[in-house]
Amino acid sequence: MTEHLNIEQMAQKLASADHYLIVCHKNPDGDTIGCAGALYHALTALGKTAAVICADPIPARYAYTGIKLYDGSYQPETVVSVDIASLQLFGERNDVPQLTRHVDLCIDHHAGNGGFADFTLLDASAAAAAEVMTDLIEALGVQLTPQMADCLYTGLSTDTGCFKFPSTTARTHAVAARLIEAGADVQRLNKLLFETRSPQRMEIERMALNSLEYHFDGRCAVICLDRDQIADSGVEPADLEDLTGLPLTIAGVQVGLTLRQQPGGSCRISVRTVAGMDACAIARRLGGGGHNRAAGCELEGNLDNAKAAILAEVEAELTAMDEAAAAAAEQEEA
C-alpha cells in the first residue's frame, strides 16, 4: 500500500534526502522526459546528487532537456518515478529492474496508478505530469530556470497535443503561462515538437494517402499499408502509430481504420471512432479490444481479407447506430 501525499508533503520528502535516482517509463515520451529533466535540475539546484534512468534511450530530439543519465558513480538513496502508472512500464533494460527494486516516491497523473511506491503524489485531473511537477518544484522553493521551464513545457505540450486534447484544462493553460514567464523558449520548442516531421514520416503519409478509401457514404475511411511499404519508408514506430489518427481527422468520417501488415504477415487493425460510436465493440467482434474510441485487433490472412472482415463489422455497427437513432426519434414523436 502506498501513502498518498499532497504537493507540500512530497516537497518535504524530496528535501529530506540527498542522492536521487529518477526513473522514466519505457518508450519515454515528452512528459516523462520533461518531468525527469525538470526534477533533475531542481534537485541539483538544491545541492543534491541526481541522475536519470530509463529502460530505453532518450530520443535525440530531447537533448535540450540537459538530462544526466545515471552512470553508477554514486549510490542512489531514493528512487523517484515520474509519469509512471505501473511497474510494468519501468521496462527491463539498462539495469532498471535491479536499480528500481524498491521505489520510494512516485509523481504521476494517471488515474489508474498502481500504487507501487512508498509515497505517491497523484493528481489525475492534471493533463500532464508536468502540471504536477511545476507546482512541486515551486513548493520545493526552487526558482524555475529557463531550462526547467523548457523541460516542463515539453511535458505539458506533448501530453496535450499542444493544448488540443480533451484533457486540456484552464489550469493547463495557466501553467503554460507561468512556464513562458519563467523563460521557456516556446518558439523553438513548438517548431521542434509539433512542426517537424521526418522525411520517412512524409513518405509513409504519402503511401497512406494513396491507399485512402471511403466507405458507407464517407462515414468510414480506411488506410492500408503492407509490410514492404512500411519497411521501405524507414519510418519510426512512433510515427507509424501516429498515422492511425489520420482517417478520423477527415470531415464526415465516423470510423477511421488503419491496416498495417505485420512482418509475420498478419494484419494489425486500428479502429478510431467519433463520440457515440463504440470502437471497442467493433474490435471485440474480431477478437480485439481497447477503449471506447480507440481500439484494435489483429487478423491472420492478407490485407484484402482483413479489410473485408473489419468493414463488415463497421457496417453492422453503423446500421445498429442508425436503427437506434431512428427508434429514439420515433419514441420522441409518439
Binding site for a second copy (CB under 8 A): 162-166, 168-171, 173-174, 176-178, 180-181, 186-187, 190, 194-199, 202, 205-206, 209-210, 212, 214, 218, 249-252
- Nearest distance from C-beta of residue 151 to a second copy, angstroms: 17
- Nearest distance from C-beta of residue 101 to a second copy, angstroms: 39
CB contact at 8 A, 16 and 5: no
- Nearest distance from C-beta of residue 188 to a second copy, angstroms: 9
Round to whole Å and give the CA distance between 65 and 147: 7
The burial of 90, by beta-carbon neighbours within 10 Å (0-12 exposed, 13-18 middle, 19 or more buried), is given as buried
Round to whole Å and give the CA distance between 301 and 226: 12
Q: Which is nearer to a second copy, 213 or 322 (CB)?
A: 213
Q: Which is nearer to a second copy, 102 or 164 (CB)?
A: 164
What cell numbers appear for 160 in the block? 496535450
- Nearest distance from C-beta of residue 172 to a second copy, angstroms: 8
Among 41, 67, 69, smallest CA distance to 142 is for 41
- Nearest distance from C-beta of residue 34 to a second copy, angstroms: 17
Residue 171 one-letter amino acid? R
- Nearest distance from C-beta of residue 299 to a second copy, angstroms: 26
DSSP label of 18: S
Q: Which is nearer to a second copy, 55 or 149 (CB)?
A: 149
> Residue written as cell 427508434?
327
218 Rama class: left (phi>0) / alpha (psi -120 to 50) / beta: left
Q: Which is nearer to a second copy, 95 or 213 (CB)?
A: 213
- Nearest distance from C-beta of residue 176 to a second copy, angstroms: 4
DSSP label of 110: -
Q: What is the DSSP string of 30-63?
A: HHHHHHHHHHHHHHHHTT-EEEEE-SSPPPGGGG
What cell numbers appear for 16 in the block? 529530506
Q: Which is nearer to a second copy, 69 or 212 (CB)?
A: 212
Round to whole Å and give the CA distance between 79 and 63: 23
Q: Which is nearer to a second copy, 118 or 138 (CB)?
A: 138
DSSP label of 26: S
Q: Which is nearer to a second copy, 205 or 313 (CB)?
A: 205
- Nearest distance from C-beta of residue 215 to a second copy, angstroms: 13
Round to whole Å and give the CA distance between 192 and 209: 24
Q: Which is nearer to a second copy, 145 or 169 (CB)?
A: 169
Among 185, 173, 188, smallest CA distance to 148 is for 185
The burial of 23, by beta-carbon neighbours within 10 Å (0-12 exposed, 13-18 middle, 19 or more buried), is given as buried
